[in-house]
Structure 1
């Protein structure tokens, strides 16, 4: 079972996302609201949904890169401001906009779970970055 790390500092959004993920049959490894808390939960995670702005500032891109690079976690940014990461983040798959609907989260988690092993079409709501850890897309 894939374990999903939620990196979000708004408690209401984080809990809503956690319920959505559980309803879809996934397990969460926890909710992090900063770089330090994400680092503590990383060893217990396979997938991560990461916001850009957290309690310790705009550390989401650095967290995403760290999770992907150091732990091999599949990372997608989830933000109300996707233009902030328009240039992409090395190691991170892509970005979806908030608020994310359950159908979008389902499609994104399914994509994240399989894209390393096979070529699959990405969900329409997911804007892929031009380069992830597998190389140019």
Structure 2
């Protein structure tokens, strides 16, 4: 079964570009959300979320990422030009892809997030900065 991806991005052209990459990688896009209420409304139908930090309702991406991981067990990957703004919310995510991104970075990060037990091979994913330490499960919330 294909994993379902939530794209949390308020810039429509960026969101559509990410959607195309997600689908070309073989995943289904459950929804595109531009703010916190929309993201949380779609959360129950998602397995993975690609989350920008600065959205239509302000810099809510880190809060959204933490909620998606803790309340819904979604594997979160931040996609942002401002990774320093993630702060403590990094504990809820697998890592961050820096903008401007390469399609290969998003594709590889999605495959990592879809794995039953993600092994981080950061050097193999250009543009991806992992938050998990190899052999550690911190940052992952098990789905129950």
Q: Do Structure 1 and Structure 2 share a fold, with TM-score over 0.5?
A: yes
- 1:81 positional shift: 1.0
Q: Which moved more, 1:30-39 or 1:89-98?
A: 89-98
RMSD over aligned Cα atoms: 1.7
- 1:95 positional shift: 0.8
**Number of positions where the alignment pairs a residue of Structure 1 with one of Structure 2:** 133
Q: Which moved more, 1:122-131 or 1:23-32?
A: 122-131
Tell me the equivalent position of 1:128.
130
- 1:121 positional shift: 2.1
Tell me the equivalent position of 2:47.
46
Q: Which runs of 4+ in 1 moved over 6 A?
A: none
Partner Cα distance (2:87, 2:100) in 1: 18
Partner Cα distance (2:9, 2:118) in 1: 29
CA deviation vs aligned residue, 1:86-137 (integer Å, no higher than 9, x gap): 55522211111012111111110011111x4253524242212254136xxx
Partner Cα distance (2:12, 2:46) in 1: 20
Tell me the equivalent position of 1:26.
27
Tell me the equivalent position of 2:135.
none
Gaps in structure 1 of 5+ consecutive residues: none
SS in 2 for 1:132: coil
- 1:85 positional shift: 1.9
